[in-house]
C-alpha cells in the first residue's frame, strides 16, 4: 500500500486551474502575436528603428509564456503510477484543478462526473450519475485508502495512470448501496474494472501519433504487381488507409510464431482454426506489424495480399486460364520481393467446397521453391483433408493452430471493435457486448469466437434503442435472425402464458392434468426461473393412442412458438438399430433435413420423439445427454443446442394399464406414481431416463361425451375450410351422437373420428355443393339421415 | 505561484522536452524519408526491374545494359531522396541545436532587450 500525499501548495495545482479557465484560441493568438513581435523586432533592428529591441524582447518573453501555456498547462500529462506518490503529479489536470484533500465522496464525484471519461463509463454501463451522487452523500473515505484503491483498479485494468476512470470505479465501490445499483443494471465490479481498461485503451489510441509505414521509399525497392493487384485484396493498404489497427491484437504469441515461421526457411505457414476464430484478423495483425517495420530484415515492410479464389474464377474465360492467372500472381509476388501471399479459405484452392478450384499440383512446386512467403488459412477439417489427400504439400506447411480466446479477451476485442462500428453515431453499452458474447454462444454454434460475437454485435446496429446499442438490441437481432424469443414477455404474450391452459383447451379435449403440468413448466421457463442450461421443458407423454398426445405437442408449437410447423417430429420406430445413431446425428452436409440441422435452423421448436419405447437403447442413451446438457454433437463434431426447445417423448407403453385404472373409476393422480414404478420394474424404461424428464404426464382415454367435443372441434375445422365459399355446416345433436357411436373405438381414442367426419360430413357437404343445393351464404344443417353412417364402428 | 511554475518548467522539463521533441522529429523525418531503406537499397534496380538473358552475347550485353540503367535510375532517385532527407534533417538538427542552446536565455534575453530598448 502506497502512502499517497497531496501538496495543496504545489504550483502544478495553480497551473491546472489556469488550464481549466484558459481558452485555447487565446493561447494561439498569443503565440501568433509573439512571432509577429519577434519578426517585427528583428526587422526594426535591421532598419535601426528606435526602441526596436523592445518589440523583440516582448516577443521573446511572450513566446516563452505561450510555449509554457501550450506544453505545460494545456497539454499537461500526469506521472505514471509507481513513479511518485505525490498526488498532484499523479492526478489528471482536469481533476487536479478542483481537487482538495478534504473532499468527501460526493464532492469528489461532483468533480469527476462532468469529465468525458466519467460520462463514458456511466453511459456505457447504464449507471445514472445522479443516483451515484446521491448514494455517496455523507461518505468520507480517507484520501489514502481511496487513492490506493483507485491505483489497484488502474493496475488491474492495465492503465498506467491514476485515471479518472479508476477514481470513478473506486468511488462506486465505496458504498454497498451503489453496488446494488450495479446489480440492477446487471453488472458487477470486475466488469467496471474492464471498463476502465476499455477507456485506457481508447485514451492511449487518441493520444498516439499516426504510425509511419515505411516512408516514401518503401515501394521503390519492390517490383510492380499488376496481375496480383487485379485478383488480390491488399490487406496492408487497408490497414494503411485506416491509419492503423486500433482493435487490440490479443494473439501476440501466435503472431510472433507466424512471423518467426515466415522469417525462417519454412516460408509457408497454414493457420488452422474454426470459422470466426480470427484467422483473417491475425493476417491483418501481421500486415500491421510488418508495415510498422516490427519484424526482422527479411520481412520488414512486406505487404500482405489476400488472393481470392472467387475473383480468379469470375475472370476465367477458357481452359488453362486459372493456372495462367495463379502462376502470374505468384511470379509477380516472387518478383516484387516484398509480398506475403495469403490464401484465405485455402480449401477453395484445393477443390473443396462450392466455387473451388484444384491447384494443389500447381502450388506444390511453388511452395517447395520457398521463393516467397505464403500463408494459408484452413479449418481443422479442411487441414486434415489436405494432410490425407496431399501429403507432400501439407508436409511443406508449418501449421499454427488457433484456439478460441478467453471470454475476457473476446470482450476486450468486442469493446474496441464496437468503437470502430459506432462511427460516432451510436453508443454500445457493456451489457450489449456481454449479451452478444452469451447469445452468440447459444445460437451460433457453427462459428467460433470472437467472430460469432462480432457478427452478432454488427447485426445489432440495425436494432438500436435510439442511439444506444443495448442488450435489448442484441436480443432483437437474435430474434430477427433465428426466429426465437429471448426478450422478456410483453403484455400480450404474458396474457397467453397466463391463460395457456384455456388456449390449449380451445383445440384439445380434457387431459386437464397434462395441460396444466406442461403450461406451468412453460411459464417457469419464460419467466426465466427454469435452468437455462437445459431444454425449456422436457416431458414424457404416456397414454393410449388418439388421446391428444401429439395434439398437445402441436398446440404448444402453435401457442409458444407461433406456428405448428415449429415442430420437429421423429418416429422412433425408424431408429431401432444401433447403426441408426449415425442418421440421428447426421450433420447438415449429410442430411440437411435431419434432427440436428433442423434444430440449428429453428432452435425454438417442439421436438417430438414419437413412440420412444421402440428406439434402440443406444439412442435412448443419447437422449440422456440431450435432456441433461441441452445439446447434441453431430458427426462433424459441431454442437447443436436444444436449450430453446421443448422436448416431448410419447409412448403407448402401459396404455392398457391406464385404461383399466380409469375404467375402474380411479383418478390419474392416484395411480400415477405406482404406474411409473411398474414401467421401470417391467423394463419398459430405465429409471435414469425417466428421472431426466421434467414431468411424466399420463393421458387418460377419452369417453364418449368427450369425443362429442372432439367432433365439435373437427366441424369447426371443416367450417374454416369452407369459409372461402361462404358456406357453413353444423350438426344436430343426434347427428353428433350418432357420429361418436360410429367412430368410437376404445383402442384408438379420437383418431378414427377425423376419418369418420371426412367420410360423412365432408361427403354430404360436397354432394350438396355439387348438386347446387348449397352456395354462398348457405348454412347447411346435417342430421343423422344425411350422414350416411356405417352400421358398425369404423374399423382401424 | 504561476510565475514560479513557469520558470521552473522552463529550466527543467521544458528544456528537456525541447531536446526530446527535436530528437523525435528527426526520427520521424528519417522514417518518412525511409533513410535506412534508401541506404540499404541504394544500388538496387529501380522497382526490381531486371532483365535476365541466357541467349546470345548481344542479348546478354543488352540485358546487362538494361540492368545497369535500372540500377542507375534507382541510384539517382534514391540519392535525390537522401539529399532531400539530409537537407531537412540538417535544417531541423541545426535549428534544434540552436534552440536548445538558446533556450535558457530566451526569457532573460527578452527582459534585457525590453530594458535596453526602453533605456535608449
Average pLDDT over residues A710-727: 85
Is residue A173 within 8 A of residue A179, CB to CB? The reply is yes
Q: Is the dihedral of CA A282, A283, A286, A292 positive or negative?
A: negative
pLDDT band of B32, cuts 50, 70, 90: very high
Per the model's pLDDT, the better-predicted residue between A375 and A508 turns out to be A375
Is pTM beyond 0.90? Reply is: no
Q: Which residue has the higher pLDDT, A445 or B95?
A: B95
Minimal CA–CA distance to A222: which of A211, A236, A233? A236
Cα–Cα distance for residue pair A437/A410, rounded to 1 Å: 8
Helices and strands counted in chain B (H then E): 5, 0
Instruction: Classify residue A716 by burial, with Cβ atoms within 10 Å: 0-12, 13-18, 19+.
Output: exposed
What is the rounded average pLDDT of the residues A573-591? 88
Rounded average pLDDT over A521-543: 81
DSSP state of A264: S
DSSP characters for A398-429? Answer: EEEE--PPPHHHHHHHHHHHHHHHHTTS-EE-
Residue B59 lies in a domain: yes
Domain assignment present for residue B65? The answer is yes
Provide the pLDDT for residue B45: 92
Nearest to A217 among B9, B38, B116 (CB): B38
Exposure of A338 in the CB half-sphere (CA atoms within 13 A): 26
Report the distance separating Cα B74 and Cα A217, nearest Å: 11
Selected residue with higher pLDDT from B76 and A357: B76
Q: Give the percent of chain A with pLDDT over 70.
A: 96
Instruction: Name residue, grid cell 476499455.
Output: A198
Give the nearest partner residue to A54 out of B1, B2, B114, using CB atoms.
B114
Provide mean pLDDT across the span A577-585.
89
Which domain covers residue B64, as residue numbers?
Answer: 2-104
In chain A, the largest separation of any two C-alpha atoms, in whole Å, equals: 136
Domain contains B95: yes
Rounded-to-integer distance, Cα B60 and Cα A446, Å? 59
pLDDT band at residue A246, thresholds of 50, 70 and 90?
low
Do residue B113 and residue A63 have CB atoms under 8 angstroms apart? no
Residues of chain A with pLDDT > 90: what percent? 39
The C-alpha angle with vertex A251 and arms to A248 and A255, in degrees rounded to 5, equals 110
* Under 8 Å between Cβ of A606 and A648: yes
Higher-confidence residue of B56 and A530: namely B56
Residue A495, CA distances (Å) to A142, A486, A554, A564, A604 in order = 53, 17, 20, 20, 20
Calpha distance A164→A171 (Å, rounded): 11
Which residues of chain B have a CB within 8 Å of the CB of A212?
28, 31-32
Give the integer Cα–Cα distance in Å for A748 and A733: 23
Residue holding cell 510488418?
Answer: A290
A770 reaches B (C-beta below 8 A): no
Kindly tell me if the per-residue pLDDT of A792 is higher than 70: no
Residues of chain A positioned with their CB less than 8 A from the CB of B67: none
Average pLDDT value over all residues in chain A:
87
Q: Which of A82-86, A193-197, A410-414, A722-726 has the lowest mean pLDDT?
A: A722-726
Q: Give the minimum alpha-carbon distance from A11 to chain B in angstroms, rounded to a whole number.
A: 5
**In the prediction, which pLDDT does A53 show?**
92
**Is A578 an interface residue toward B (CB < 8 Å)?**
no
Say which range, A26-30, A700-704, B23-27, has the weakest mean pLDDT: A700-704
Residue with cell 437422449: A623
Q: What residues pair up with A697 in beta bridges, in sequence order?
A: A541
pLDDT at position A668 over 80: no
Give residue A245's pLDDT.
74
Please check the confidence at residue A796 and state whether its pLDDT lies above 80. no
A357 within 8 A of A313, measured Cβ to Cβ: yes
How far apart (Å, rounded) are the C-alpha atoms in residues A247 and A281? 10
Find the CB nearest A58 among B28, B74, B114.
B114
Residues of chain B contacting A53 with CB distance shorter than 8 Å: 113-114, 116-117, 120
Domain count, chain B: 1
**Chain B, nearest residue to A58 by Cα:** B110
Give the number of other Cβ atoms within 10 Å of residue B101's Cβ.
Answer: 9
DSSP state of A759: I
Cβ(A143)–Cβ(A99) below 8 Å? no
B55 inside domain: yes
Interface test with B, best of A17, A50, A84, A220 (most B CBs within 10 A): A220
Mean pLDDT value of segment A500-529: 81
Prior bond of A450 cis (ω within 30°): yes
Contacts of B74 in chain A (CB under 8 A): 220
Banded pLDDT at A778 (limits 50, 70, 90): confident
Instruction: State the pLDDT at residue A745.
Output: 75
Q: Do A220 and B47 touch (CB under 8 A)?
A: yes
Rg (CA), chain B: 26
CB contact under 8 A, A217 and B78: yes
Q: With contacts defined as CB-CB under 8 Å, which chain A residues touch B116?
A: 53, 57
What is residue A647's three-state secondary structure? strand
What is d(CA A145, CA A24) in angstroms, rounded to the nearest whole number?
36
> Is A784 in contact with A760 (CB distance < 8 Å)?
no
In angstroms, the Cα distances linking A447 to A273, A359, A378, A501, A597 are: 10, 27, 14, 39, 14
Q: Which residues of A touch B88 (CB under 8 A)?
A: none
Residue A747 has pLDDT above 80, yes or no: no
Structure confidence at residue A407 (pLDDT) = 93
By residue count, chain A amounts to: 796
Mean pLDDT, chain B, rounded, equals 93
pLDDT at B102: 96
| Best CA proximity match to A710, nearest among A683, A674, A745 | A745
One DSSP character per residue, A132-185 reads HHHHHTT----HHHHHHHHHHHHHHTT-SS--HHHHHHHHHTT-HHHHHHHHHT
Residue A37: pLDDT band by 50, 70, 90 thresholds? very high
Q: How far is residue A306's CA from residue A291's CA, in Å, rounded to a whole number?
A: 15
Is A334 near chain B, with CB under 8 Å? no
Which among A216, A223, A337 has the least Cβ separation from residue B32?
A216
**pLDDT score, position A292:** 86
Q: What is the pLDDT of residue A294?
A: 81
pLDDT digits (tens, 9 = 90+) for A457-482: 999 999 999 889 999 999 999 988 87
Please say if the pLDDT value at position A793 is more than 50. Answer: no
Q: What is the mean pLDDT of residues A738-747?
A: 79
Query: Between residues A437 and A746, which one has the greater pLDDT?
Result: A437
Residue A736, pLDDT score: 87
A596-642 pLDDT tens trace: 988 888 888 899 999 998 999 888 888 998 998 898 988 877 888 89
CA atoms within 13 A on the CB side of A599: 32
Residue A683 has pLDDT above 50, yes or no: yes
Contact between chains at A217 and B109 (C-beta distance less than 8 A)? no
Q: What's the Cα-to-Cα distance from A169 to each of A102, A127, A539, rounded to whole Å?
A: 20, 11, 47
Inform me whether the C-beta atom of residue A379 falls under 8 Å from chain B C-beta atoms.
no
Q: In sequence order, what DSSP letters do the residues of A111-137 get, joined into one string?
A: HHTTSHHHHHHHHHTT--HHHHHHHHT
Q: Which of A15, A60, A217 sits opposite B34 (nearest CB)?
A: A217
pLDDT 10s digits, A638-655: 888 898 889 999 998 888
* Share in percent of chain B as helix, strand, coil (round to 5): 85, 0, 15
Give the strand pairing for A606-610 and A567-571: parallel
Nearest CB to A68; choose among B9, B32, B44: B9
Is residue B94, in this structure, part of any structural domain at all? yes
Residue A149 confidence class, pLDDT cut points 50, 70, 90: very high
Contacts 24+ apart (CB under 8 A), A156-159: A156/A193, A156/A196, A156/A197, A157/A193, A157/A194, A157/A196, A157/A197, A157/A200, A158/A197, A158/A200, A159/A196, A159/A197, A159/A199, A159/A200
Q: Is residue B114 part of a domain?
A: no
pLDDT tens for A191-236 read 999 999 999 999 998 888 888 888 898 888 889 999 999 999 999 9
pLDDT of A724 reads 86
A375-394: per-residue pLDDT in tens? 999 999 899 989 998 899 99
- In chain A, which residues have their Cβ closer than 8 Å to the Cβ of B41? 217, 220-221
Q: What is the pLDDT of residue B114?
A: 94
Does residue B119 lie within any of the structural domains?
A: no
| Residues A271 and A284 sit within 8 Å (Cβ to Cβ) | no
Q: Residue B106 has which C-alpha cell?
A: 530566451
Q: What is the pLDDT of residue A795?
A: 43
In this predicted model, which residue has the larger pLDDT, A103 or A355? A103
What distance in Å separates the CA atoms of residue A490 and residue B96, rounded to the nearest whole number? 70
Cβ contacts (< 8 Å) between B118 and chain A: which residues?
51, 54
Helix (H, G, I), strand (E, B) or coil at A303: strand
Q: What are phi and psi of A571, to 5 degrees?
A: -85, 105
Is it the case that residue A179 has pLDDT exceeding 80? no
In 3D, which of A253, A168, A157 has the Cα closest to residue A202?
A157
CA distance B104 to chain A (A): 10
Domain assignment of residue B113, yes or no:
no
A788 CB contacts (<8 Å, ≥6 apart)? A760, A763, A764
Maximum average pLDDT range among A146-160, A245-259, A781-795, B36-50: A146-160
Q: Residue A268 forms beta bridges with which residues?
A: A374
Amino acid at each position: 500500500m502506497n502512502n499517497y500525499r497531496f501538496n495543496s501548495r504545489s504550483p502544478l495545482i495553480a497551473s491546472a486551474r489556469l488550464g481549466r479557465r484558459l481558452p485555447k484560441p487565446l493561447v494561439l493568438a498569443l503565440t501568433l502575436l509573439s512571432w509577429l513581435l519577434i519578426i517585427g523586432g528583428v526587422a526594426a533592428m535591421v532598419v535601426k528603428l528606435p526602441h526596436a529591441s523592445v518589440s523583440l524582447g516582448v516577443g521573446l518573453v511572450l513566446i516563452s509564456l505561450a510555449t509554457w501555456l501550450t506544453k505545460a498547462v494545456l497539454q499537461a500529462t500526469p506521472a505514471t503510477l509507481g513513479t511518485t506518490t505525490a498526488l498532484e503529479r499523479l492526478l489528471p489536470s482536469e481533476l487536479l484543478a478542483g481537487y482538495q484533500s478534504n473532499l468527501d465522496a460526493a464532492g469528489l464525484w461532483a468533480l469527476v462526473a462532468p469529465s468525458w471519461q466519467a460520462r463514458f463509463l456511466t453511459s456505457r454501463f447504464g449507471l445514472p450519475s445522479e443516483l451515484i451522487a446521491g448514494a455517496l452523500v455523507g461518505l468520507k473515505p480517507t484520501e489514502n485508502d481511496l487513492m490506493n484503491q483507485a491505483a489497484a483498479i488502474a493496475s488491474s485494468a492495465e492503465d498506467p495512470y491514476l485515471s479518472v476512470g479508476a477514481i470513478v470505479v473506486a468511488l462506486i465501490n465505496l458504498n454497498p448501496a451503489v453496488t446494488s445499483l450495479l446489480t440492477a443494471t446487471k453488472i458487477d465490479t470486475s466488469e467496471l474494472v474492464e471498463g476502465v481498461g476499455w477507456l485506457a485503451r481508447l485514451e492511449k489510441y487518441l493520444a498516439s501519433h499516426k504510425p509511419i509505414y515505411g516512408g516514401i521509399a518503401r515501394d521503390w525497392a519492390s517490383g510492380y504487381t499488376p496481375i496480383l493487384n487485379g485478383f488480390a485484396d491488399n490487406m496492408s493498404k487497408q490497414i494503411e488507409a485506416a491509419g492503423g489497427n486500433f482493435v487490440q491484437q490479443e494473439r501476440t504469441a501466435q503472431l510472433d510464431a507466424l512471423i518467426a515461421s515466415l522469417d525462417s526457411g519454412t516460408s509457408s505457414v497454414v493457420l488452422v482454426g474454426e470459422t470466426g476464430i480470427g484467422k483473417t484478423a491475425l493476417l491483418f495483425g501481421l500486415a500491421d506489424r510488418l508495415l510498422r517495420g516490427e519484424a526482422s530484415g527479411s520481412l520488414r515492410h512486406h505487404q500482405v495480399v489476400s488472393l481470392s479464389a472467387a475473383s480468379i474464377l469470375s475472370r476465367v474465360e477458357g481452359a488453362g486460364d486459372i493456372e495462367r492467372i495463379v502462376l502470374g500472381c505468384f511470379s509477380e509476388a516472387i518478383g516484387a520481393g516484398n509480398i506475403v501471399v495469403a490464401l484465405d479459405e485455402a480449401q477453395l484452392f484445393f477443390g473443396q467446397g462450392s466455387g473451388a478450384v484444384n491447384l494443389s499440383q500447381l502450388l506444390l512446386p511453388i511452395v517447395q521453391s520457398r521463393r516467397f512467403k505464403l500463408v494459408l488459412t484452413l479449418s481443422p477439417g479442411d487441414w486434415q483433408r489436405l494432410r490425407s489427400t496431399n501429403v507432400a504439400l501439407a508436409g511443406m506447411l508449418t501449421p499454427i493452430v488457433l484456439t478460441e480466446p478467453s471470454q475476457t479477451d473476446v470482450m476486450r476485442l468486442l469493446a474496441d471493435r464496437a468503437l470502430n462500428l459506432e462511427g460516432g453515431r451510436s453508443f454500445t453499452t457493456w451489457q450489449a457486448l456481454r449479451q452478444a458474447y452469451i447469445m452468440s454462444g447459444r445460437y451460433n454454434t457453427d462459428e467460433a469466437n470472437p467472430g460469432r460475437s462480432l457478427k452478432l454485435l454488427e447485426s445489432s446496429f440495425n436494432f438500436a434503442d435510439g442511439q444506444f446499442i443495448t442488450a435489448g438490441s442484441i436480443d432483437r437481432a437474435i430474434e430477427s435472425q433465428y426466429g426465437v424469443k429471448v426478450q422478456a414477455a410483453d403484455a400480450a404474450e404474458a396474457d397467453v402464458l397466463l391463460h395457456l391452459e384455456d388456449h390449449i383447451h380451445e383445440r384439445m379435449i380434457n387431459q386437464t392434468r397434462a395441460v396444466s403440468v406442461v403450461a406451468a413448466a412453460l411459464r417457469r421457463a419464460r419467466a426465466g426461473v427454469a435452468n437455462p442450461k437445459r431444454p425449456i421443458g422436457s416431458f414424457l407423454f404416456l397414454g393410449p393412442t388418439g388421446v391428444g398426445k401429439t395434439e398437445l405437442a402441436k398446440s404448444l408449437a402453435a401457442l409458444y412458438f407461433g406456428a405448428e410447423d415449429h415442430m420437429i417430429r421423429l418416429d422412433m420406430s425408424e431408429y431401432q438399430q444401433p447403426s441408426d445413431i449415425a442418421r440421428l446425428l447426421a450433420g447438415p452436409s449429410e442430411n440437411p433435413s435431419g434432427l440436428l440441422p433442423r434444430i440449428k435452423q429453428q432452435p425454438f421448436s417442439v421436438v417430438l420423439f414419437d413412440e420412444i419405447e421402440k428406439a434402440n437403447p443406444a439412442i435412448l442413451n443419447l437422449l440422456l445427454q440431450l435432456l441433461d446438457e441441452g445439446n447434441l454433437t453431430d458427426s462433424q463434431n459441431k454442437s447443436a443446442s436444444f436449450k430453446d426447445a421443448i422436448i416431448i417423448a410419447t409412448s403407448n407403453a402401459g396404455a392398457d394399464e391406464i385404461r383399466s385404472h380409469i375404467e375402474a373409476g380411479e383418478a390419474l393422480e392416484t395411480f400415477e406414481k405406482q404406474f411409473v414404478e411398474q414401467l421401470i420394474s417391467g423394463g419398459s424404461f430405465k429409471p435414469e431416463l425417466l428421472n431426466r424428464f421434467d414431468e411424466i404426464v399420463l393421458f387418460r382415454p377419452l369417453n364418449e361425451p368427450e369425443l362429442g367435443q372432439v367432433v365439435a372441434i373437427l366441424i369447426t375445422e371443416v367450417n374454416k375450410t369452407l369459409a372461402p365459399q361462404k358456406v357453413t355446416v353444423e350438426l344436430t345433436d343426434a347427428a353428433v351422437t350418432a357420429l361418436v357411436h360410429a367412430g368410437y373405438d376404445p383402442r384408438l381414442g379420437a383418431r378414427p373420428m377425423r376419418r369418420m367426419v371426412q367420410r360423412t360430413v365432408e361427403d354430404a357437404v360436397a354432394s350438396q355443393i355439387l348438386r347446387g343445393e348449397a352456395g354462398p351464404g348457405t348454412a347447411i344443417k346435417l342430421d343423422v339421415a344425411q350422414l350416411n353412417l356405417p352400421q358398425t364402428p369404423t374399423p382401424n | 505561484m504561476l510565475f514560479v511554475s513557469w520558470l521552473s518548467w522552463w529550466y527543467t522539463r521544458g528544456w528537456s522536452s525541447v531536446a526530446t521533441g527535436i530528437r523525435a522529429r528527426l526520427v520521424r523525418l528519417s522514417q518518412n524519408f525511409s533513410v535506412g531503406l534508401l541506404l540499404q537499397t541504394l544500388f538496387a534496380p529501380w522497382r526490381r526491374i531486371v532483365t535476365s538473358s541466357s541467349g546470345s552475347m548481344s542479348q546478354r550485353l543488352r540485358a546487362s545494359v538494361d540492368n545497369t540503367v535500372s540500377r542507375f535510375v534507382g541510384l539517382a532517385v534514391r540519392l535525390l531522396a537522401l539529399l532531400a532527407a539530409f537537407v531537412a534533417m540538417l535544417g531541423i538538427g541545426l535549428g534544434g541545436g540552436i534552440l536548445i542552446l538558446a533556450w535558457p536565455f530566451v526569457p532573460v534575453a527578452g527582459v534585457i532587450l525590453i530594458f535596453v530598448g526602453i533605456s535608449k
